[in-house]
Structure 1
């Protein structure tokens, strides 16, 4: 019999153990060999030459590698990025040694360990949305978009009246929506800013109807602390903040007071990045730290890369390609691509003809780690999500 050669892509320790078990190795060997099968590449930024030299030496001593700038050796570089390449076994020995070093390296060792732990993925758990529970991790959740605005790019003006909004929300729930996201301010390019009073005038009457009759959690899309407080008082379950707690310094305290889950989205004022994904990650990490310092539980934090916000067409596509990198933060990822301009520019289609493009981004987003998808076309995207889950998460069943 000819020997066949195959390839295995090992993403985490659980998968490594399973593959080793299939070979028939002794169970005692699974634990020992599995860390050798998982290879991680981590990128550090803002490292000074002294730190970088120690990191490189210690990693080389354990059989791994660390790429640094040329100016590190003679200290001509003020700071450097460091690309660390190693197996989990090598990282373990490296981290233990790094904890013995000076120059702030013990704290860095703890952060590297946290990053590695986050990349293993988090176990399925329940998200407590102020009394309403959502199961995270078993399947992709679908968030239905409900705009109580006159000028949203897709459906502005259609659901401003509470009765119409409620009817649409119930249709989305019937179609499979797990969350309804209510917004009172358009975020389309060129939108006009509205006052807090106007935002509340749009949102609160609709919200009052929704919390009375809609069985799933209601998220309110706002960055303003006063609007968030009024919404939470009225019964909202989640706050969706497009500025990751930067737009209003009082919002973090409000969300923490009510212990409501919060969605932190990346945003900015321009598209100038030196290292886009590193900067998006840093922005979201800072938002997480703001939330934690305010007293919000970490398990109540969800992150969103902000497709269509402070990004060019090419940058949006790059974020979608590299979405999996955000798993290093250890939080569930929400992806909102529905009908957006990145689809319009790719397919040259009007708003009402972007379902297939949205479906492609949803499917690939789920494959890259998205836990929640925010969409207009709920029925169709629930089907896309279920098919994607069958492939990615193994949630298959015979119908």
Structure 2
């Protein structure tokens, strides 16, 4: 066939892909750097923009070859505010950022936010998170966090590892199967769970953590939203705190993690499933939790985010978040995904908890494809294999 008959449409999700494509056809290094910003296309969504500001954005985007979509009433001044979608290459957005500081109606502040968003979205490379047992190295491959529930009522394996000896033995098994992190929880957070007092939570955790700190070499995480439990665990030598309420349930949590310079996993969570704009609301909530943590002294490079699949979301909302995980990258933080055996899988496939392995595998593969850095799972050996296969395709290590 002739060259005019076959056209390939290529997805270019990031700068690394754009560079690789140009290198493959022999573009010189200077040309690559000049053209990468033109190869990256974005759709940025702004909420509740005043009509006057929206009209200026429209003009400025058109002047740079981009586009701004907004509610029909803006042009006729029949509405006071609108959501705005900016469609542009990175270069067009960079030119917009240069002009906006000269504008009014809040557009001068928008410039810095757009630049920060672009920088976070394109953040790449190898990152290390410091832990007492050695750093977590992100960016080379997807890390696997193995779950150890020291509870009598966990939705998936409640009671199996309630005995401290059984829990420690299970943790060793997960490490042997390839777990990069062990996450230990002393309170079930399944839907409808009964909160456990801090003293009872610690009674369950303490004997297990004492042995694990002495016996295993991979970082240990404690799944708790209580600051006193986090402090006790960190005193023992635990590496990471995994807070399902993102520092919101206990006002002292962020300060405790800061005091120990401990990494913290900040999860999105809320009461009920009402949202005005699902992903925008989740991003806003996570950003507020990040600001709370950093404002209390947690180092920015020690924060990991989790979209909270199964928490404060119904089935369709969980599925939508799963399909839009890549959007979390605008926050500039490593992403943890926890879908293992959850009700989203059970409801979708109409399967009980003990038959959700394949469904979990599908969510893990999709997560890796969208740039997730850590997966939190029960079935470590199987999910290590899934992650490695997905990494080989996505990261091509």
TM-score, normalised to structure 1's length? 0.96
Shift of 1:75: 4.0
Which residue is 2:45 aligned to?
Answer: 43
- Give the superposed CA RMSD: 1.3
Which residue is 1:71 aligned to?
Answer: 73
1:100-145 alpha-carbon deviations (Å, 9 max, x no partner): 2233323221111111112213211211023521111100000000
1:65-84 alpha-carbon deviations (Å, 9 max, x no partner): 11112233344433321100
Shift of 1:264: 0.6
> Matched residues in 2 for 1:350 and 1:15: separation?
40
Structure-to-structure mapping, 1:118-129, within 5 angstroms: 118-129=120-131
Match of 2:232 among 219, 230, 233: 230
Structure-to-structure mapping, 1:1-399, within 5 angstroms: 2-3=2-3, 4-395=6-397
**SS of structure 1 residue aligned to 2:158:** coil
Task: Rate the CA distance shift 1:250–1:77 in 2: closer, same or farther, 3 A.
Answer: farther
**SS of structure 2 residue aligned to 1:129:** coil
> Matched residues in 2 for 1:113 and 1:168: separation?
46
> Matched residues in 2 for 1:8 and 1:313: separation?
32
**SS of structure 1 residue aligned to 2:130:** strand
> Matched residues in 2 for 1:247 and 1:45: separation?
27
Unaligned runs of 5+ in 1: none
**SS of structure 1 residue aligned to 2:46:** strand
Aligned length: 395
> Matched residues in 2 for 1:245 and 1:72: separation?
39
Q: Is the 8 A contact 1:264 1:287 kept in 2?
A: yes
> Matched residues in 1 for 2:351 and 2:107: separation?
51
> Matched residues in 2 for 1:94 and 1:72: separation?
20
Shift of 1:227: 1.0
Unaligned runs of 5+ in 2: none
**SS of structure 1 residue aligned to 2:275:** coil
Q: Is the 8 A contact 2:133 2:219 kept in 1?
A: no
1:286-318 alpha-carbon deviations (Å, 9 max, x no partner): 111111111111110100010111111111111
**SS of structure 2 residue aligned to 1:57:** helix
Q: Is the 8 A contact 1:176 1:379 kept in 2?
A: yes
1:43-71 alpha-carbon deviations (Å, 9 max, x no partner): 11132222222222111111101111223
Q: Is the 8 A contact 1:223 1:243 kept in 2?
A: yes
